[in-house]
């Protein structure tokens, strides 16, 4: 069994990337009057959603995983990490322990780490 998800946030009402609409509050220009094919950017799934999908699919026995339309390198890396692989690109994964607001690294001053609790 294989799984190649499209990396856009579809729904039952808009099941494919071809018929996705943008936010009703967005007056964003689009040459086609809709997001497909060149204005889909704000409708991407994030890396964590793709990683979660890959993890759940792999747990169900799907052993051929990838990503389809809209995929970025971070999506492919997340699929690999979700199934226990350590691709070379893993060295570029975020290291949240070093983040100035959400990090836990000892070199970050306590008053800076506390910003994450208030943001």
Strands 2-3 and 64-65: parallel
**Which pTM was predicted?**
0.74
Residues 16 and 49 in one domain: yes
Residues 74 and 27 in one domain: yes
Query: Which residues, at least 6 apart from 59, have a Cβ–Cβ distance to it below 8 Å?
Result: none
Give me the pLDDT at residue 93, please. 81
Residues 49 and 101 in one domain: no
Residues 25 and 46 in one domain: yes
Residues 109 and 81 in one domain: no
Residues 36 and 60 in one domain: yes
Give me the pLDDT at residue 54, please. 94
Residues 78 and 98 in one domain: no
Reported as half-sphere exposure (CB side, CA atoms, 13 A), residue 17 has a value of 18
Residues 107 and 80 in one domain: no
Residues 99 and 119 in one domain: yes
Task: Dump the DSSP string for 62-92.
Answer: --EE---TT--HHHHHHHHHHTT---GGGGG
Cα 10 to Cα 46: distance, rounded to the nearest angstrom: 13
- Host domain of residue 101: 93-119
pLDDT tens, residue order, the chain (119 aa): 777 888 888 889 998 888 888 877 777 788 887 888 888 888 889 999 999 999 999 999 998 998 888 888 889 999 999 999 998 988 888 777 777 777 777 887 878 777 766 76
Give me the pLDDT at residue 30, please. 81
Residues 45 and 13 in one domain: yes
Residues 55 and 103 in one domain: no
Give me the pLDDT at residue 114, please. 75
> Is the distance from CB of 7 to CB of 67 less than 8 angstroms?
yes
Give me the pLDDT at residue 92, please. 82
Task: Count how many domains the chain has.
Answer: 2
Residues 60 and 105 in one domain: no
């Amino acid at each position: 069994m294989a799984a190649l998800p499209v990396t856009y946030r579809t729904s039952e009402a808009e099941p494919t990337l071809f018929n996705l609409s943008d936010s009703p509050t967005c007056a964003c220009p689009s040459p086609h009057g809709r997001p497909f094919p060149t204005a889909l950017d704000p409708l991407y799934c994030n890396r964590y959603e793709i990683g979660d999908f890959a993890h759940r699919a792999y747990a169900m026995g799907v052993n051929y995983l990838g990503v389809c339309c809209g995929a970025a390198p971070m999506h492919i890396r997340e699929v690999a990490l979700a199934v226990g692989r350590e691709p070379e690109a893993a060295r570029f994964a975020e290291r949240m322990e070093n983040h100035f607001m959400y990090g836990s690294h000892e070199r970050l001053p306590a008053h800076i780490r506390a910003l994450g609790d208030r943001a």
